[in-house]
Amino acid sequence: MPANGGVFTYWLPEGAVEPGRRVLVPLGRRTATGVVLGPARSVRGELRDVLRVLDEQPLLPPDVLQLVRWAAAHYLAPLGLAVRVALPPGIDLREELRGALTPDGDALLDGVQRALLPGGQEAATRTRQLLRAVREGRALRAAQLRALEKRGLVSLSTSEARPRVQAPQVELAAAVPGAQPPARSPRQAEVLAWLLARDPVGVPVEELLAAFPGARPHLRKLAARRLVALRTEPAGAARLPDAPWGSAVVRETAAQSAALVELRAALDARAYAPFLLDGVTGSGKTHVYLEAIAHARAQGRGALALVPEIALTPQLAGRFRARFGDDVAVLHSGLTERERLSEWHRVRGGGAGVVVGARSAVFAPVRDLGIVVVDEEHEPSYKQEDRLRYHARDLALVRARDAGAVAVLGSATPSLETLRRAQDGRLRTLRLPERVDGRALPAVEIVDRKTTLRGRGDPALLTPALSEALQKTAARGEQAILFLNKRGHVRSLLCRSCGAAVGCPNCSVALVLHRASGAALRCHLCGHEEVPRPCAACGSDDLVPLSAGTERVEEELRALLPQARVARLDRDSAGGPGKAAALLARFARRELDVLIGTQMVAKGHDFPGVTLVGALDADGPLHLPDFRAAERCVQLLAQVAGRAGRGEQPGRVLMQAFRTTEPAVVAAAAHDYHGFARGEMARREALSFPPHARLCALRLQGNVEARVQAAAERLAGRARELQRRGGDRVDVLGPAPAPIARLRGKHRFQLLLRAPEHGPIHRLCRALGEVPLPSGVELAADVDPVALL
């Protein structure tokens, strides 16, 4: 399993072993860990021996290996790479080459035998440097060590390197019990009071600094005065951010019971049965997951629950813990490698029968799988965007099918792919049409943002209506969430009079403004280019470039409500998942009044204090140059709106939009996702986009733009030629510069392959794999792409 994921053949001196066990093998001049895939079908040349078989039991059970094979074939990735993705990080062992000086080496280094040295003064100096490094035990490359060995200066031995998992450290601060606040320093007193109210064992300093930015010096002074104790220790075991577990269900709703009757029957039948659990926000989907899983456990079968992002949805994982205790293993990115590895081994060994995890948990070695749940199945984060570009929801269905298990895809806003499967009868639909407590969904008002376009300069992000609502909410001491989907890299051109963004005539996506190339507008699906022309919707030629970001909102809000405690939550501000969870926990404790953020604020949080939700740029996601922009937009808005009014006070949602009559916005405001989905399904069919067709994006990137473009054109040309000759019908769209045309210094182009089925796309891609690429240009295939950026 080298980095590029190749598959190699070795001789097993001790005879065949089961697939899935790891072996130590020579690879070039190194040793590497590999996973046995099975007997080779044909052998060329002389085989090298496997050095050692590492596991007693296959590390990857047969069903996971089968899923890995399927994924590698479907997503056009090397098998070895797929195997690597399925293993938990930090599991591979490597052998380290160690060198020791021979007597000759010693003599040379100590300057006794200069005569030994060929090749002049410079080479001599270099050799002595290397020998000194060996003597001091510093790391050298294997090739350097072997060269020294050849000259008799060093002797080599191998030793097994420790797995490269090191527990990270966490810095904790604890108030000394009974500490008196220093009278002269109000800031220190504030920090101390905060700590005194917290866990006496200690609070992560990171969390404290999130509450008191810049308080590090105060903390140091408090420690010097012996009022606060600081210490560092290994980060704890499978910790979850603290969160209430959620109330136990006393009486099931009729809809929940009906869904469970079907799910239990399907489990009893012990055959593949996929379901869509279509339930509005707050309809009690989690209870259905938990009880269906409990039934599978009672049968002695295992369960897998995928969630989009555990660190941001601690409540859900908490409910699994509350229901199943130690039978739950949680796999999430907030854990250290060592913690994840130990959870993984617990699952592999049968010590945990229920796995809750993010997308990579679809490969978790759950025993005798009975049920797979995918919560919020529409979430784009189920798609992995590098290495093996898999979609965890789709793999979950494949895994359930192969295991003869029940699959439950849950969502309030199912993806069109899933709705299409349900229409075709490939999924059974279970509905939870109402909120459990009989509470209404919040009232939503659409606010026209065009009023803010009147002045010159960048338009304000807060409309007068929302500003006023914010002031009132703050005056009542209630909380608010402001949502703005960041789209910093894409600037579009907006019509001041009707609010429409200038769109592509061929693809019905927004054109993107490229300042580098004059004022050209470009389509990132088909490559269409134009200079700004009057608005196609209303004829006005008063166009204004628009960009916005959460930082801008924060500034405007601080000016509007100077007293309010405001925090911003997005990938830039959050840092690690721990920080995001800490911020959310503070908001839940009502230590903050307004939370501004990207979709991170829209997850399944349950904040009863929130009575106002503002979507600042409700139609903004529509500007994304992606055919799924409208679908994504409604899904986000539905989720954001679902945060309001979950407590005693009714909630109010304001959706600010330029295009107030867009179906996506209107549907979200009316809580009518399915009405939207019907229209959108027809539009996709008309444009031949998924779910009515299959796509594969071929992405090329490199340092020299002209080379990348030439390679993309050659590839597209070859693809079209193959289509003309062969019988397959695959549309080749593009090439066009990718919407993010330059990323980390690389120029990017993409072309899209489109066909009714995957077969022709797979065949074409395999044929295109033979096309030589110029050096310095990389090609990646993305089958069933989610992000077309």
Q: Which residues bind Zn ion (CB under 5 A)?
A: 495, 498, 500, 504, 506-507, 523, 525-526, 528, 535, 537-538, 540
Within 414-547, strands assigned E span 428-432, 443-448, 479-483, 492-495, 512-514, 520-522, 529-530, 543-546
In this complex, which beta carbon is closest to ligand ADP, that of residue 253 or of residue 598? 253
Using the rule CB under 6 A, is 247 a contact of ligand ADP? yes
CB of 523 to Zn ion, least distance (A): 3
Segments in 569-615 forming alpha helices (H): 571-574, 577-588
Cβ nearer to ligand ADP, comparing 284 with 760: 284
Q: Which residues of 122-158 are buried (b: 16+ CB within 10 A; e: fewer)?
A: eeeeebbebbebbbeeeebebebbeebbeeebbeeee
Residue from 241, 284, 314, 503 that binds ligand ADP (CB under 6 A)?
A: 284
Residue closer to ligand ADP (CB basis): 283 or 360: 283
Query: Tokens 């949502």 appear where?
Result: 483
> Residue 769 in 3-state DSSP?
coil
Q: Toward ligand ADP, which CB reaches closer, 283 or 473? A: 283
Residue (318 or 353) nearer to ligand ADP, CB: 318
Cβ 605 to ligand ADP shortest distance, Å = 10
**Contact residue for ligand ADP among 34, 99, 282, 308 (CB under 6 A):** 282
Smallest distance from the beta carbon of 373 to Zn ion, in angstroms? Answer: 38
If one asks whether residue 256 binds ligand ADP (CB under 6 A), the answer comes out as yes
Residue type, 471: Q
413 binds ligand ADP (CB under 6 A): no
- Measured from the CB atom, is 5 or 651 closer to ligand ADP? 651
Both tokens assigned to 42: 């044909």
> What is the secondary structure of 534-555 as a DSSP string?
S-TTT----EEEE---HHHHHH
- Asked whether position 31 contacts ligand ADP by CB under 6 A, the answer is no
User: Which of 395, 402, 394, 403 lies closest to 299, judged by CA?
Assistant: 403
Size (the chain), residues: 789
Residue range at the interface with ligand ADP (CB under 6 A); choices 265-273, 275-283, 533-541, 681-689: 275-283
Nearer to ligand ADP, 127 or 253 (CB): 253
Q: Tokens standing for 439?
A: 């509470």
CA proximity to 619, closest of 568, 667, 550, 652: 667
Which string of b and e fits 25-46 if b means at least 16 CB within 10 Å?
bebeeebbbbbbbeeeeeeeee
Residue 386 three-state SS? coil
Minimum CB separation of residue 260 from ligand ADP in Å reads 11
β-pair partners for 411:
278
Which amino acid belongs to residue 355?
Answer: V
Q: In the set 22, 74, 84, 287, which binds ligand ADP (CB under 6 A)?
A: 287
CB nearer to Zn ion: pick between 652 and 748: 748
Considering CB distances under 5 to 8 angstroms, the limit depending on partner class, which of ligand ADP, Zn ion, none binds residue 284? ligand ADP
Q: Which does 526 bind (CB under 5 to 8 A by kind): ligand ADP, Zn ion, none?
A: Zn ion
CB 390 within 8 A of CB 782: no
Helix crossing, 254-269 with 285-298: angle to 10°? 30
When the beta carbons of 241 and 734 are compared against Zn ion, the nearer one is 734
92-100, 241-249, 265-273, 362-370 -> range binding ligand ADP (CB under 6 A): 241-249
Q: Which is nearer to ligand ADP, 251 or 744 (CB)?
A: 251
Characterise 623 by phi-psi region: left (phi > 0), alpha (psi -120 to 50), beta (else).
alpha
The minimum distance between CB 248 and ligand ADP, in angstroms, equals 7
Instruction: Tell me: cis bond preceding 735? Omega within 30 of 0 counts.
Output: yes
Buried b (16+ CB within 10 A) or exposed e, 312-337: bbbbbbbbbbebbeebbbbbbebbbb
Among 33, 127, 188, 283, the residue binding ligand ADP under the rule CB under 6 A is 283
Which of 173, 170, 261, 251 lies closest to 211, judged by CA? 173
Query: Residue 303 pairs with which residues in a beta bridge?
Result: 354, 371
Identity of the residue numbered 754? R
**Contacted entry of ligand ADP, Zn ion, none for residue 252, CB cut-off 5 to 8 Å set by kind:** ligand ADP
Token pair 């200069």: residue = 114
In the complex, least distance from residue 450 CB atom to Zn ion, rounded to whole angstroms: 10
Of 142 and 537, nearer to Zn ion (C-beta) is 537
- The residue within the footprint of ligand ADP, chosen from 104, 149, 252, 731 (CB under 6 A), is 252
Report the nearest approach of ligand ADP to the CB of residue 257 (Å). 9
Size of the site for ligand ADP (CB under 6 A): 16
Question: Omega into 204 within 30° of 0, i.e. cis?
Answer: no
Closest Cα partner for 521 from 497, 538, 504, 543?
504
Task: Provide the sign of the torsion angle of the four alpha carbons 646, 650, 654, 660, taken in this order.
Answer: positive
DSSP character for 600? G
> Is the Cβ of residue 281 or residue 492 nearer to Zn ion in the bound state?
492
- Residues with Cβ within 8 Å of 648's Cβ and at least 6 positions away in sequence, in order, are 608
By CB atoms closer than 10 A (0-12, 13-18, 19+), residue 213 is: exposed
- The one-letter amino acid code at 626 reads D
Q: Considering the complex, what minimum distance in angstroms separates the CB of residue 413 from ligand ADP?
A: 11
286 binds, among Zn ion, ligand ADP, none (CB under 5 to 8 A by kind): ligand ADP
Question: Containing H/E element for 702?
Answer: strand 694-702
Q: Please report whether residue 651 would count as binding ligand ADP according to CB under 6 A.
A: no
DSSP 8-class letter at 620: G
Would you say 525 or 622 has its CB closer to Zn ion?
Answer: 525
The footprint of ligand ADP on residues 509-568 (CB under 6 A) is none
The listed partner (Zn ion, ligand ADP, none) that binds 525, CB under 5 to 8 Å by sort, is Zn ion
Mask of contacts with ligand ADP, 426-445, x by CB under 6 A?
Answer: ----------x---------
Least Å distance between CB 712 and Zn ion?
Answer: 16
246 binding ligand ADP? (CB under 6 A):
yes
Contact partner, 436, from ligand ADP, Zn ion, none, Cβ < 5-8 Å per class: ligand ADP
506 makes contact, choosing from ligand ADP, Zn ion, none, with CB < 5 to 8 Å by partner type, with: Zn ion
Q: Which does 504 bind (CB under 5 to 8 A by kind): Zn ion, ligand ADP, none?
A: Zn ion
Residue with tokens 């959620």: 246
Which option in ligand ADP, Zn ion, none does residue 495 bind, with CB closer than 5 to 8 A by kind? Zn ion
Q: Helix crossing, 673-687 with 629-641: angle to 10°? A: 170
**Minimum CB–partner distance for residue 777 and Zn ion (Å):** 24
Q: Does 639 bind ligand ADP (CB under 6 A)?
A: no
Stretch that binds ligand ADP, among 243-251, 455-463, 567-575, 739-747 (CB under 6 A): 243-251
CA–CA separation, 148 and 683 (whole Å): 68
Which lies closer to ligand ADP via its Cβ, residue 389 or residue 605? 605
Tokens coding 754? 């489109």
The Cα–Cα gap between 705 and 441 comes to 50
Q: Output 330 or 712, the one with its CB closest to ligand ADP.
A: 330
Question: For residues 240 and 525, which CB has a smaller minimum distance to Zn ion in the complex?
Answer: 525
Is 641 a residue that touches ligand ADP (CB under 6 A)? no
The token pair at 238 is 């499978």
> Which partner from the list ligand ADP, Zn ion, none does 523 bind, CB cut-off 5 to 8 Å by kind?
Zn ion
What are the strands of the beta sheet with 652-657, ordered from one edge? 443-448, 652-657, 610-615, 479-483, 594-597, 566-569
Q: Does 313 participate in binding ligand ADP (rule CB under 6 A)?
A: no
For the beta sheet containing 30-35, the strands, ordered from the edge strand earlier in sequence to the opposite edge, are 30-35, 22-27, 52-53
DSSP assignment letter at 773: P
The CA radius of gyration of the chain, in Å to the nearest whole number, is: 30
Stretch that binds ligand ADP, among 109-117, 252-260, 465-473, 705-713 (CB under 6 A): 252-260
Residues that bind ligand ADP (CB under 6 A): 246-247, 249, 251-253, 256, 279, 281-287, 436
